[in-house]
Amino acid sequence: MLKETDVSSWQFFLESRSDLDADGTSKEAGSPEPISIRMWRPKPIAVCTRCGAVSYNANLINGQCAQLIAGKRCVGVNGSALNADDWKQCTACAGSGNRGAGRCGPCDGVGWLYVRR
């Protein structure tokens, strides 16, 4: 369940790291030093009350969830989750959202776990 909004946010995040090659290939002559920069996903700011889909756009807070479930739009609402306590960085993937070649399961590729009760 990779969400479209998540993907665009992730790409934006990658593009903002202008010090890294976007495609990860560093074939240019120069420093052969391995890149050891940790990367993690941006923290979501809203979560759907019904399906748990996360959002990164403040304009979506308190709006209807945009997820499609079985062809129907989710009837949940994007509740704000702006507090630092609302999220815990996923330890399984160290916040990257990826494990090996696949998506991290515990956080569903988000890199963060919603922990507010």
- Residue ranges that bind Zn ion, judged by CB under 5 A: 48, 50-51, 53, 65, 67, 74, 76, 90, 92-93, 104, 107
Residues 31-43 as b or e (16 or more Cβ within 10 Å = b): eeeeeeeebebbb
Shortest separation between residue 63's beta carbon and Zn ion, angstroms: 11
The tokens describing 71, both together, are 């062809």
- In this structure, the number of other CB atoms found within 10 A of the CB of residue 6 comes to 22
Shortest separation between residue 85's beta carbon and Zn ion, angstroms: 19
Shortest separation between residue 54's beta carbon and Zn ion, angstroms: 10
Shortest separation between residue 19's beta carbon and Zn ion, angstroms: 24
CB nearer to Zn ion: give 20 or 77.
Answer: 77
CB nearer to Zn ion: give 26 or 40.
Answer: 40
- Tell me which residue has tokens 């993690």: 40
CB nearer to Zn ion: give 50 or 88.
Answer: 50
The tokens describing 56, both together, are 């990164």
Alpha helices in the chain (DSSP H): 4-16
